Amino acid sequence: MTEAAPVVTLDGPSGSGKGTISRAVAQQAGWHLLDSGALYRLVAYAGADHRLDAADVEGHARLAISMQVTFGVGPDGSEQVLLEGRDVTQAIRTETAGQGASRVAAWPAVRAALLERQRAFARPPGLVADGRDMGTVVFPQARLKVYLTASAEERALRRYKQLKEKGAGVSLAALSREITERDARDSTRAVAPLIPAPGAEVIDSTGLPIEAVVGRVLELGARRSLWPPRT
Ligand code: DC
């Protein structure tokens, strides 16, 4: 595979902080960002929208190829996700949407349908890719692979705070159960399960502030000459 641009991958379970860390690293490096989880969330969302049968694998795979998605920035500077021109930023972030994503993500046909769409994000000057199989399947040639994790309790608490901030009515106990269930499904599926890529740098972010984790990833990238060292 020829390299269109250098890639840094960040894989890990829900609530490990991948999204926040990936965004910060991409911003500081001036690189593009791929939130691959959003694509799986969009497939599940679009499927429900089209009233597809929940078990219709081919229908969901077709949507994975045909759906029109725009990742942009809203008027207030925050991230914005448009599906067929409709703002679905909040709608795809609920835990229910996460569960739907995890379900369609277990189907090989959907994963295959999203492969090229994901690889197309690798454009100069570089890409930070956030997901579950970025380093193992989608970008095996990545210059730096990070596997980010944290204790199950801390991950549930982070997701709880995140969803609360967005005004969602959630219970910590229910969220913990759902996250455990989703992790189990993502880690045990037959295709592209969540596992650290060979050669991945494993970072356990339990108890670490965001800046410390971002600093560690930036340092690992600088060591590989992906960007200048921080002063
Ligand atoms: O990162 P996230 O919570 O937005 O991801 C939602 C679901 O999508 C996750 O539970 C599993 C699936 N997913 C995947 O299978 N592969 C990816 N690269 C990213 C997400």
User: pLDDT tens digits for 18-56?
Assistant: 999 999 999 999 999 999 999 999 999 999 999 999 999
0.95 surpassed by pTM: no
Report whether pLDDT(62) > 90: yes
User: pLDDT tens digits for 169-215?
Assistant: 888 999 899 889 989 999 999 999 999 999 999 999 999 999 999 99
- Structure tokens that stand for 211 in this block: 């800046």
Rg of the chain on CA atoms, in Å: 17
Which pLDDT band, with edges at 50, 70 and 90, does 122 fall under? very high
* Predicted local distance difference test score (pLDDT) of residue 169: 81
Residues 40 and 101: beta-carbon distance below 8 Å: yes
Ligand 1 atom 10 nearest Cα: 102
Report whether pLDDT(231) > 80: no
* Predicted local distance difference test score (pLDDT) of residue 85: 96
Report the alpha-carbon distance of residue 198 to residue 129 in Å, rounded: 16
Ligand 1 atom 4 nearest Cα: 37
Domain residue extents for the chain: 7-222
Strand stretches in 66-204, DSSP E: 69-73, 79-83, 86-87, 127-131, 144-149, 201-204
- Structure tokens that stand for 146 in this block: 């990070």
| Ligand 1 binding site (Cβ under 6 Å of any ligand atom) | 14, 36-37, 40-41, 98, 101-102, 105, 131-134, 182, 186
Percent of the chain with pLDDT over 70: 99
Strand, helix or coil for residue 204: strand
Residues 208 and 149: beta-carbon distance below 8 Å: no
Strand arrangement of the beta sheet that strand 144-149 belongs to:
32-35, 127-131, 7-11, 144-149, 201-204
Pocket mutation for ligand 1, best pick of 186, 187, 195 (most atoms within 8 Å of C-beta): 186
Residue 211 backbone phi and psi in degrees, to 5: -60, -35
Q: What are the angstrom distances between the C-alpha of 201 and each of 52, 212, 227? A: 40, 15, 17
What CATH code is assigned to 7-222? Answer: 3.40.50.300
Facing residues of 22 across strands?
none
* Ligand 1 nearest-atom number relative to CA 186: 11
* Ligand 1 nearest-atom number relative to CA 99: 10
Question: Stretch 120-149: mean pLDDT, rounded?
Answer: 97
Strand, helix or coil for residue 100: helix
